[in-house]
Amino acid sequence: MKRSRFTQEQIIGVLKEHQAGAAAADLCRKHGVSDATFYKWRSK
């Protein structure tokens, strides 16, 4: 099984930034993840 580049704490931090009002596209660019990955994290 492939190991994730991001820990659960890092993923939660990115999602909290989004809840605080940051745009999803900007967060993806800043943290180096794709839009699909971001939305998959959010769905979990």
H or E, element range at 12 = helix 8-19
Whether residue 3 has pLDDT greater than 90: no
Q: What is the pLDDT of residues 4-39, one digit of tens each?
A: 899 999 999 999 999 999 999 999 999 999 999 999
DSSP 32: T
Query: Where in the chain does DSSP place strands (E)?
Result: none
N-term to C-term CA, the chain: 19
